[in-house]
Amino acid sequence: MAEIRNYTMNFGPQHPAAHGVLRLILELDGETVVRADPHIGLLHRATEKLAESKPFNHSIGYMDRLDYVSMMCNEHAYVRAIEQLLGIDVPKRAQYIRTMFDEITRILNHLLWVGTNGLDLGAMTVFLYAFREREQLMDCYEAVSGARMHATYYRPGGVYRDLPQTMPKRLETRWTKGKDLRRVNAWREGSLLDFLQAFCDDFERRVDDYETLLTDNRIWKQRTVGIGVVAPERALQLGFTGPMLRGSGVQWDLRKHQPYACYDEVDFDIVLGVNGDCYDRYLVRIEEMRQSKRIIQQCILWLRQHPGPVMPKNFKVVPPTREEMKHDMEAMIHHFKLFTEGYIVPEGETYAAVEAPKGEFGCYLISDASNKPFRVHLRAPGFVHLSSMNEMLSGHMLADVPAMIGTQDIVLGEIDR
Amino acid sequence: MIDMQALQTLAWTVLKIFIIIIPITLTVAYYTYAERKVIGYMQSRVGPNRVGPWGLLQPFADVFKLLFKEIILPANANRFLFYLAPVLTLGPALAAWAVVPFSDWMILADINASLLYVLALTSMGVYGIIVAGWASNSKYAFLGAMRSAAQIISYEIAMGFALVCVLIAAGDISLKGIVQAQQGGIFDWFWLPLLPMFVVYFISGVAETNRAPFDVAEGESEIVAGFHVEYAGAAFAVFFLAEYANMILISALTALLFAGGWLSPFENVPMLGNTMLATPGIGWFLAKTVFFMFMFLWFRATFPRYRYDQIMRLGWKVLIPLTIVWVVVAALMVLLGWIERGA
């Protein structure tokens, strides 16, 4: 009898379920995966190296492009690292804005996740439902920063500018006019905060919609329950963070355990799974969206009552206003210095991490007292999660590969960096 | 000497074939349009709306696009089998229509064992898929073909037993006879006494046509497009046509076997008397078929995809035992007179 050999298959980088440019070399025994070997580097853009050759502020925009579905959280880690070295204080209002936008980002990320994970497992409708809500939050990004994805909104010291008093309205098109136009603009009559308020009031119902489609669906449960089980001890050993870790039942959330921004002032719960399988991680992420909504509502309440500056008056780091520059020579000089050579960060090294939607996103920064970082290292949660791919996948079937890529919620932008 | 009589019959038959094939092809075209529209509205978007008024010319745009594209033959593919496969899939999908009675007289070939003929032809379609997967010389296509083969064999059995129940209930093996045995209004159709079989048959039908949630042979997110991953242009269009023709066929068969075909649901309602609503006709048959066709789209918008081994489990451990039990139950029901044949 002929010797039966295993079958090697190339999964990606051009594969509809590879979430970007992941390439998996799968060794298959029939449909069962014996070994999975992830190959990365196809989206490598040398972000860390590029940051070494630019003034500090120039790299904020690069951070958006790492994990391009949780943009502002990446910025947050980077600007926090700079703030720690500079030792500057961030105004309370800016902290609340950051908290709010971190949570908007979390919802954005989890919406994309629930949609694409559904799509990977064949449930296409939830994808489009999730994108409908994503549109609204993207509009919030656009309202504060002018960009829908790569916002570059956070700055060392605060945020680029205060929240807008008016929410931009949709314009009439061939397809949306009259009553339809009034409907899509119904939430946009007031400020950004009014818009977010309306969104949050509506959001609970939307999440219920996704859950109706998936949570109790027999097929969905068959596809996710008991798939990719990671024991809590093993999850810690593998360096999991975020929903991957909490899905296994380990209580660890930087927002609670090492609070930053205003997370110690808002009320929310850490969501924990029990079994550590794909289904629990799904439930954790769904519930995290509801918790994020809670945090956003609290932030809205605070921000409405506390107007104030969103940047410190430290003109070594923060540009002065245009008006001041017209009559103040010193402001003029500050402006010139800031926009030609940037600012000098004292010598030292630091690590700042935030609870990004995917897990702990950290920035390790070394400064040699120049206007550019000496070294930046970014700790991407996706990289750590992806390295467990072989362990999680071995013994599962080919159809579980997309489920596993989905549940790890990897984005190649931050893995390759 | 050419027999004029035979020639005339032949010409008449060819004409009748075209009368059936052309509307089916058009239905397929607009079924794809309906699919995109229906699923579009289910997913809170609008679907195609640019080509022609309300996007009504979209199917033709798609067809022309596919026809003008090159059919790419992959390296080291088996040329003969590669081109044969789409034909093998489409042939049975269209041939099965020969015995479908559109009403009590609109039928191309009124043969007495037409149900067997349909069963035989619907099983043939899988050869095209297997051959396509083999001839493409692609691992993804090969996996798709293997999945498809296993799946169709499993569900063919459940489907066959479900049909056995229909045969027992109707006491006839021709589609026309089966419909005639269901006379008497909506509660005399076979869906009620054979309710589990009705469900099993439709599930098996969805599985046989490789539609969501049983579309593992295509498995978009796992094996990209499965058996037809290497096909492009007109060859792909033929696979597409066959898939949709099969979906329409399964819908039509479900309407015939379990929902009274061309019979009116209000046959014995005294108030309606002999009005349009109470008389049988092709309209009823088409309406029922469209309803089942809509179910296919609804499933696709709602369900996630089964995993390959879960499909096998559902087929062998749930559907087949259920059908075998119901064969006995159906026989008892006939014996006890609960099912009246052609009341």
Interatomic CA distance for residues A188 and B325, integer angstroms: 61
Q: Would you give the DSSP letter of residue B276?
A: G
pLDDT at site B262: 82
B305 contacts A122 by C-beta, under 8 angstroms:
yes
Residue B42 with chain A: CB contacts under 8 Å: 125
pLDDT in tens, chain A (417 residues): 567 778 888 887 877 777 778 888 888 887 888 888 888 888 888 888 999 998 988 899 888 888 888 889 999 999 999 999 998 889 999 999 999 999 999 999 999 999 888 888 888 888 899 998 998 899 988 899 888 888 889 989 888 888 888 888 888 888 788 888 888 888 888 888 999 999 999 899 999 988 888 888 888 888 888 888 888 999 899 989 989 899 898 888 888 888 888 888 888 888 898 888 889 999 999 999 999 999 999 999 999 998 888 888 888 888 888 888 889 898 899 899 888 888 888 999 999 999 989 989 999 999 998 889 999 999 989 899 988 888 888 888 888 888 888 888 888 888 888
The answer, for B317 touching chain A at a CB cutoff of 8 Å, is: no
User: Which of residues 238 through 297 in chain B touch A, CB cutoff 8 A?
Assistant: none
Residues A122, B44: C-beta atoms closer than 8 Å: no
- Partner residues linked to A365 by β-bridges: A350, A376
What is the nearest CA distance from B236 to chain A, expressed in angstroms? 19
Beta bridge partners of A351: A364
**B309 vs A: CB within 8 A:** yes
Through-space distance between the first and last CA atoms of chain B, rounded to whole angstroms: 51
Euclidean distance between CA atoms B294 and B309, whole angstroms: 27
**Among partner residues B45, B303, B308, which is closest to A399 by beta-carbon distance?**
B308
% chain B with pLDDT above 90? 3
CB proximity A173 to B under 8 Å? no
Q: How far is B298 from chain A (nearest CA, A)?
A: 11
Distance between CA atoms of A416 and A23, rounded to whole angstroms? 12
**CB spacing of B308 vs A222 below 8 angstroms:** no
The closest alpha carbon to B305, from A126, A229, A393, A120, belongs to A120
Task: Copy the structure tokens of residue A218.
Answer: 């027999």
Q: Do A399 and B219 touch (CB under 8 A)?
A: yes
Token pair recorded at residue A337: 């210095």
Q: Any bridge partners for residue A23, and if so which?
A: A39
Q: In this complex, do B302 and A125 lie within 8 Å of one another by their Cβ atoms?
A: yes
Give the mutation candidate from A398, A401, A405 for the B interface (greatest B CB count, under 10 A). A398
User: In the predicted model, what is the mean pLDDT of residues B116-139?
Assistant: 85
Identify the pLDDT of residue A374: 92
Task: Pick B304's closest partner by Cβ from A9, A121, A401.
Answer: A121
Asked if the C-beta of B318 comes within 8 angstroms of chain A's C-beta atoms, the answer is no
pLDDT given at position A109: 92
d(CA B257, CA B181) in angstroms, rounded, equals 10
**CA A286, CA A129: separation in Å to the nearest integer?**
14
pLDDT band, residue B2 (cuts 50/70/90): low
Find tokens 């089966």 and name the residue. Answer: B178
Find the CB nearest B306 among A7, A124, A219: A219
Per-residue pLDDT, B343: 45
Query: Minimal Cα–Cα distance from A213 to chain B, Å?
Result: 7
DSSP track, B214-274: SGGGT-HHHHTTGGGTT--HHHHHHHHHHHHHHHHHHHHHHHHHHS-TT--TTTT-GGGTT
CB–CB contact B223 A7 (8 Å) = no
- Substitution target in B39, B140, B229, B307 with the highest count of A β-carbons within 10 Å is B307
A38 vs A387: CA distance, rounded Å: 8
Structure tokens at A393: 């996948």
The pLDDT score that the predictor gives to residue A295 is 92
Q: Which of A219, A222, A398 sits opposite B222 (nearest CB)?
A: A398
**Contact residues for B225 (Cβ-Cβ < 8 A; gap 6+):** B140, B144, B218
Task: Tell me the shortest Cα–Cα distance from B48 to chain A, in angstroms.
Answer: 12
B42 Cα to chain A: minimum distance (Å): 8
With beta carbons under 8 A apart, name residues in chain A contacting B145.
none
Which residues in chain A have Cβ-Cβ distances shorter than 8 Å to B300? 124
Could you read off the pLDDT of B269-321 as tens digits, one per residue?
667 666 666 677 788 888 889 999 999 899 888 888 888 888 888 888 888 89
Kind and range of the H or E run holding A27: strand A23-29
Kindly determine whether residue A125 and residue B42, on different chains, have CB atoms separated by under 8 Å: yes
The pLDDT of residue B342 is above 60 = no
Residues of A in contact with B213 (CB under 8 A): 122, 219
pLDDT digits (tens, 9 = 90+) for B16-60: 888 888 888 888 889 999 999 999 988 888 888 888 888 889 989
* Six token digits for residue A139: 């509009």
Q: CB B307 to CB A15 under 8 A?
A: no
* Res B341: pLDDT: 61
Task: Tell me which residue of B179, B139, B208, B203 sits closest to B288, measured CA to CA.
Answer: B179
The whole-angstrom separation of Cα B289 and Cα B293 is 6
Query: A330-354: per-residue pLDDT in tens?
Result: 889 989 988 888 888 899 999 999 9
CB of A128 less than 8 A from some CB of B: yes
Q: What DSSP string describes A163-195?
A: PPSSPPPPPP-SSS-THHHHHHTGGGSS-HHHH
Q: Does A120 reach chain B within 8 Å, measured CB to CB?
A: yes
Smallest Cα distance from B301 to chain A, Å: 6
What angle is formed at CA A53 by the lines to CA A51 and CA A57, rounded to 5 degrees? 55
Return the number of CB contacts < 8 Å for A and B. 84
Q: What is the spatial distance between Cα A138 and Cα B102, in angstroms, rounded to a whole number?
A: 52
Tell me, what's the pLDDT at A81?
Answer: 92
Q: Counting Cβ atoms within 10 Å, is residue B232 exposed (0-12), middle (13-18) or buried (19+)?
A: middle
A7 contacts on B by Cβ (under 8 Å): 139
Judged by CB atoms closer than 8 Å, whether chains meet at A124 and B301 is answered as yes
Per the CB < 8 Å rule, is B220 touching A125? no
The reply to whether B303 touches chain A by the CB within 8 Å rule is yes
